[in-house]
Amino acid sequence: MARRSGMMSQQMKEELAKELGFYDTVKREGWGGIRARDAGNMVKRAIEIAEEQMTNRP
């Protein structure tokens, strides 16, 4: 089965990991080392940011 490319850029994921406090784990262990809860919180925050950007459009 082919891997799907991610919807979020690497930079966005790193910024969210820093904001949410688990970037050290990412640096140490890679993305596979984060907890499912952290991954879920990252997606939730990305959705919040997207929604904010949509509501702030002219």
pLDDT at position 35, please?
97
The answer to whether 24 touches 2, Cβ cutoff 8 Å, is no
pLDDT in tens, 11-26: 999 999 999 999 999 9
Cα(58)–Cα(54) distance, integer angstroms = 9
What percentage of the chain reaches a pLDDT higher than 70? 90
Q: What is the mean pLDDT of the chain?
A: 91
pLDDT at position 31, please?
95
pLDDT at position 12, please?
94
pTM here is: 0.81
